[in-house]
Amino acid sequence: MALCVMACILPYMSLRGQQADCVHTLYLHIVDEQTLQPVVGAVVQLNKVNSQSDPDGYAVFPRVCQGLFHVHVQATGYQSTGQELRYDYTDSIRIVLQPLRNTLDAIEISSHRQSVQSANAVSSLQGEELDKLKGKNLAGMLSNIAGVQMLQTGATIGKPVVNGMHSNRLLILNNGIRQEGQQWGSEHAPEIDPFIAQSISVIKGAEAIRYGAEAMGGVIIIEPPALPKDSALHAEVDLATASNGRSGTVAGMLSGNLKRIPTLSWRVQGSGKQGGNFNSAHYYLDNTGVKELNYSAALGYSGKHLQFDLFYSRFNTELGIFKGSHIGSKEDLLAAINRGAPATEGSFYYGIDAPRQHIDHHLLKARGHIHLTDYLHINLQYGFQKNRRQEYDLRRGGRTSIPSMDFDLLTHTADATLEYFDGSRWKGMVGVNGTMQQNSSAANLYTSPLIPDYNSSGTGVYAIGKWLQRTFELEAGVRYDYKYLTALGYRGPVLYGGQRSFHNVSGSLGLVYHINNQTEFKSNIGTAWRPPTVNELYSTGLHHGAAAVEYGDSSLQSEKSIQWMNTVHYANTAQWLILDADIYAHYFNGYIYLMPTGTFSESLRGAFPVFQAESTNALFAGADLSAQLRFSKHFTYQVKAAIVRAKDVQHDRYLPMIPADKWEHSLTARYDLLPFLQESYLQLTHVYVARQSRYEPNSDFAAPPPAYQLININLGTQLHFGKQNLSVHFSIENLTNVSYKDYMNRYRYYAHDIGRNYVLRLSYRI
């Protein structure tokens, strides 16, 4: 019997195209090739550092540098091996070992590449890159990836925008569960605590096959760290403090496993944040404080053929809405736009007054992974989410303390997948998922909710096949979805609503071509869809936050799209040059948006512009580019650019709220001044955001703001004391205190973006 050992090196990816020196944790998975069983207790030596494979066959090496290394594997019953290998953090190296009695080649590199999860472009934030951003909200962190921008409602509310798409065209997977909140509102930020994440990844492009409806523009994946397999207690404490808003954030994480039952491991985590009014370059933004308290707990069992884990998290935030955005009528809005800045200078305080939001999100997840045979695995997952969104406005008659919106959204999701891998060439997956949702508005709010109550359910079945070859991989997938929605609400005494059902078939075809060891080309063409949201179907009334009367269209059909995403990644052998390009085209059939009708609705409060939900055909095209050049031992230059063009091709009009062109370049110096410091860096970044010149003049209340430039400085280092690690990061954002407005910030009508900000971040790990 020819026994082989496979060592798969699955290093965590870092922000692609970023400096990615010695910050990656390397996981070597050592398994018996024939039985695919993990090899326990194998001694693995990497650059003179020893590690032993755990019960799952993993040997872990923290802080591994890119480039050349020597790996040596020794295991009882197997041939000891050693070889020089060169790897890039995106590589996956398969090493095949022969048993003792066999004297043939000890190591065979059968694959020297990334274990591709998607034929679309994937970018991730983790390790040092993530530490440098802690304390920001999720969208703020993600905007460090080329092609990801932010749709903001002030400094506290941010939604990620991937290649020009956001809200219901973007899917967020929080620990494997699709995030379900009131996503339709642009002032509704994702209810996720980024402190839980060990990695945050963005898959750009349509991923409708695996993830179903709404994964049109991309998928954002938030992954907590794996539960520990060793007996040590792992702890992490993070502190972040920022001068702008005078905010403080504390977060902690503790994990370990049970001594008596080593197969059971656990993790608890929590974070708290308080911030007051932000200031722009010249004045305070009244009532922009935030309070946040989040926590989570996880318990995992890891047996021979079964893995099971339970996870619970709670996200709770209260945030103030900028006072200067109080809008009672169109006249108010125009007066605010003419002024361009609040009438008063404002002041600093922590208190949060109306208008404000209070959001509470619970997530409960149970997941099982069963090894049926060596080639066949089953994943079962159930998730329950409870999202409560309360929005308080300035109201009369003591009603300010009563929310004017109070939605309670319950979501059940269930997923089952069956995975097959023949060990060399074929990978396959079939899956089914189901969703049930119930959204209800609280009674006695004394005002009609913008959307009716609704219940919905959906089912999807899909199959994906992958053919792996030495130089290329081919992937094909097909999916069928069915969705049912029943909505009913009162507008005053009048009942409205209806029932709708939608179904759709999606398909995708992807290619990953390893041109050579330096260059990889990926191309993916896929269809995706989403059903119209409840507000697009049924909303009929005044949207106070937007100072607009919005009408839904109950006859709207599903929005369908086809996207072609091409990615080129090049990294030369010596790793001093890394180039990435994502180029895409995305065509929509029935792109749903709110179209200004040009008419006004009269009321005792004044006139409001009327918007109507409409569908049209749209084309998005663009490119995200990044390049990194290490021109000396200590210096790296990096440039990132994101360009997106979007048009309503049916009417030959530009679409609103599409990010302007953005260029960003930075110079990083890496040098450890003192012997006990590691990974020290000083980075100077220049950001240029162009004016959005592609817009329809009468589609918006105000023209897009002018272009702006920002200069940011980051510096940081790491200290190690035995097993302990302290990382310190300091940054100055908007160094020159520029007074600017961003087209993607809805508050640009009323105020400038935030001014200079000093931020200190500390992460302590053991």
Q: Which one, 104 or 376, has the nearer CB to another protein?
A: 376
By the rule CB under 8 A, 553 interacts with another protein: no
Please report, as residue ranges, which positions from 304 to 343 form the binding site for another protein (by CB under 8 A).
323-324, 326-329, 331-332, 335-336, 339, 342-343
Nearest to 520 by CA among 578, 481, 478: 578
Q: How far is the CB of 277 from another protein (least distance, A)?
A: 15
What residues numbered 358-377 form the site for another protein, per CB under 8 A? 370, 372-373, 376
Q: Are 618 and 649 in contact (CB under 8 A)?
A: yes
In the complex, the smallest distance separating the C-beta of residue 408 from another protein, rounded to whole angstroms, is 11
Please report whether residue 434 would count as binding another protein according to CB under 8 A. yes
How far apart CA 97 and CA 53 sit, in angstroms, is: 15
Nearest CB to another protein, comparing residues 256 and 324: 324
In the block, tokens 């996503």 appear at 183
Q: How far is the CB of 458 from another protein (least distance, A)?
A: 7
Shortest Å, Cβ 503 to another protein: 12
* Distance in Å, CB of 601 to another protein, minimum: 8
Is the CB of 49 or the CB of 495 nearer to another protein? 495
CA 67 – CA 85 distance, rounded (Å)? 8
Contact 406, 442 (CB under 8 A): yes
Interatomic CA distance for residues 210 and 291, integer angstroms: 35
Query: Which residue, 239 or 445, has its beta carbon nearer to another protein?
Result: 445
Q: What sign does the dihedral 56-62-66-70 (CA atoms) show?
A: negative
What distance in Å separates the CA atoms of residue 307 and residue 367, rounded to the nearest whole number? 8
List phi, psi (to 5°) of 515. Answer: -65, -45
Give 494's contacts (C-beta < 8 A, 6+ positions apart). none
Phi, psi dihedral angles at 696 (to 5 degrees): -90, 125
Question: Contact at 8 Å (CB) between 459 and 481?
Answer: yes
Residues 460-479 that bind another protein (CB under 8 A): 461
In the list 8, 264, 445, 711, the residue contacting another protein (rule: CB under 8 A) is 445
Closest to another protein by CB, 171 or 487: 487
Contact 8, 56 (CB under 8 A): no
Six token digits for residue 333: 């809005």
- Which of 86, 246, 358, 395: binder of another protein (CB under 8 A)? 395
Q: Residue 697, interface with another protein (CB under 8 A)?
A: no
**Between 341 and 726, CB nearer to another protein:** 341
> Quick one: 173 or 354, whose CB is closer to another protein?
354
Give the nearest distance from C-beta 398 to another protein in angstroms: 7
Among 301, 349, 484, 637, binds another protein (CB under 8 A): 484
Contacting residue, 102, 457, 617, 725, with another protein by CB under 8 A: 457
Instruction: Assess 380 for contact with another protein (CB under 8 A).
Output: yes
∠ Cα 508 514 516 (to 5°): 165
Q: Nearer to another protein by C-beta: 322 or 591? A: 322
Binding residues among 487-516 for another protein as defined by CB under 8 A: 487-493, 495, 497
543 binds another protein per the rule CB under 8 A: no
C-beta closer to another protein: residue 26 or 333: 333
Asked whether 143 and 162 are in contact (CB, 8 A), the reply is no
CA angle 502, 413, 500 (to 5 degrees): 20
Q: For residues 551 and 583, what is the distance between their CA atoms, to the nearest angstrom?
A: 36
CA 466 to CA 421: how far, in whole Å?
A: 9
Measured in degrees and rounded to the nearest 5, phi and psi for residue 81 equal -140, 155
Task: Pick the piece of the chain touching another protein (CB under 8 A) from 6-14, 444-452, 679-687, 745-753.
Answer: 444-452
65 near another protein, judged by CB under 8 A: no
- CB-based contact 437:409 (threshold 8 Å): yes
Closest CB to another protein among 397 and 697? 397
Q: How far apart are the first and last CA of the chain?
A: 43
Q: Does residue 21 contact residue 65 with C-beta atoms inside 8 Å? A: yes
Among the listed residues 394, 509, 579, 728, the single contact to another protein using CB under 8 A: 394
- Identify the burial level of 469 via C-beta atoms within 10 angstroms of its C-beta, where 0-12 means exposed, 13-18 middle and 19 or more buried: exposed
399 near another protein, judged by CB under 8 A: yes
Site string for another protein, 593-622 (x = CB under 8 A): ---------xxxxx----------------
Per-residue contact string for residues 402-421; x = within reach of another protein by CB under 8 A: --x-------x-x-x-x---
- How far apart are the C-alpha atoms of 81 and 76, rounded to whole Å? 12
Cα-based torsion angle of the residue sequence 401, 403, 404, 409 in order, rounded to the nearest 10 degrees:
180
CB 372, min distance to another protein, A: 5
Taking CB under 8 A as the criterion, which residues in 656-695 touch another protein?
none
HEC per residue, 503-531 = EEEEEEEEEEEECCCCEEEEEEEEEEEEC
CB 487 to another protein: min, Å: 7
